[in-house]
C-alpha cells in the first residue's frame, strides 16, 4: 500500500510539473544587468577580466499539493559573476554557479557565439547559456526536479555599449534602460 501511495504522489506531482512547465504563457527570463571588463594588458596592471550579471525568472510554478499545502516555486532572481585571467584562462563552455536562490540553482556558461561573429570575445561578443534547476520535496519524500535552459547572444552594438580607453581598458554593459529576454525551455 505504501508503494501505491508513493507512486500516486509521484505521478500526481509529475503531472502538475508537466502542466505548469509546458504552459503557453511561460514568460522569458530577463537579464536585467550585465557588465564586462577587460584590462589593458600592460605590464604592472592586473590581467583579470570579469563578467557580472543579474537574471530573473518571473514565473511561478504550482507543483501540486503536499501535506502542508501547495508546493509553489516563486519567481527568482540571482547574481552571476565570473572573473578570469584574460591572458591565461579559456572560459568558453565553463559552467559557473550563480548566487543561491530559495528553490533553484542557477548556472551560466560563456559560449562562442552561435551566429556569424567575426571576432568572438568573452567580454564584447558572446553567447550566454543559463540553466535553472528547481527542486521541491513533495509528499512521501518524492523530489520533483525541473531543469530549464535558455541561451542569448550579447554583443557591443547589438544589446551592449560602453567604451575602451586609450590604454585599451574596455568596459561594456547592457544598453541603458534595457533588459534582454532569454527564452527558456524545459529539458528535464
Tens digit of pLDDT per residue, the chain (188 long)?
Answer: 554 445 444 444 444 444 444 546 799 999 999 999 999 988 989 999 999 999 999 999 998 888 889 999 999 999 999 999 998 888 999 999 999 998 799 999 999 998 767 789 999 999 999 999 999 988 888 999 999 999 999 999 999 999 999 889 999 999 999 999 999 999 98
List, in order, residues 6 or more apart from 139 with CB less than 8 Å away: 9, 13, 65, 66, 67
pTM summary value: 0.85
Q: What local confidence, expressed as pLDDT, does residue 116 receive? A: 67
Q: What local confidence, expressed as pLDDT, does residue 24 receive? A: 61
Cell 568572438 maps to which residue?
Answer: 120
Angle ∠(76,29,59) on CA atoms, nearest 5: 50
Q: What local confidence, expressed as pLDDT, does residue 22 receive? A: 52
Q: What local confidence, expressed as pLDDT, does residue 180 receive? A: 98
Helix H or strand E segment including 97:
strand 95-97
Are 62 and 16 within 8 A, CB to CB?
yes
> Domain-by-domain residue ranges, the chain?
2-186
Amino acid at each position: 500500500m505504501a508503494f501505491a501511495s508513493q507512486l500516486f504522489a509521484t505521478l500526481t506531482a509529475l503531472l502538475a510539473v508537466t502542466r505548469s512547465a509546458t504552459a503557453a504563457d511561460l514568460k522569458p527570463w530577463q537579464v536585467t544587468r550585465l557588465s564586462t571588463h577587460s584590462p589593458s594588458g600592460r605590464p604592472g596592471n592586473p590581467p583579470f577580466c570579469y563578467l557580472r550579471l543579474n537574471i530573473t525568472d518571473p514565473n511561478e510554478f504550482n507543483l501540486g499539493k503536499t501535506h502542508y499545502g501547495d508546493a509553489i516555486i516563486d519567481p527568482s532572481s540571482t547574481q552571476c559573476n565570473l572573473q578570469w585571467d584574460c591572458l591565461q584562462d579559456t572560459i568558453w563552455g565553463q559552467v559557473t554557479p550563480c548566487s543561491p536562490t530559495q528553490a533553484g540553482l542557477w548556472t551560466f556558461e560563456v559560449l562562442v557565439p552561435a551566429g556569424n561573429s567575426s571576432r568572438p570575445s568573452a567580454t564584447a561578443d558572446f553567447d550566454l547559456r543559463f540553466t535553472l534547476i528547481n527542486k521541491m520535496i513533495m509528499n512521501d519524500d518524492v523530489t520533483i526536479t525541473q531543469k530549464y535552459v535558455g541561451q542569448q547572444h550579447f554583443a557591443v552594438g547589438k544589446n551592449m555599449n560602453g567604451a575602451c580607453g586609450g590604454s585599451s581598458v574596455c568596459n561594456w554593459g547592457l544598453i541603458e534602460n534595457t533588459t534582454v529576454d532569454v527564452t527558456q525551455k524545459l529539458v528535464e
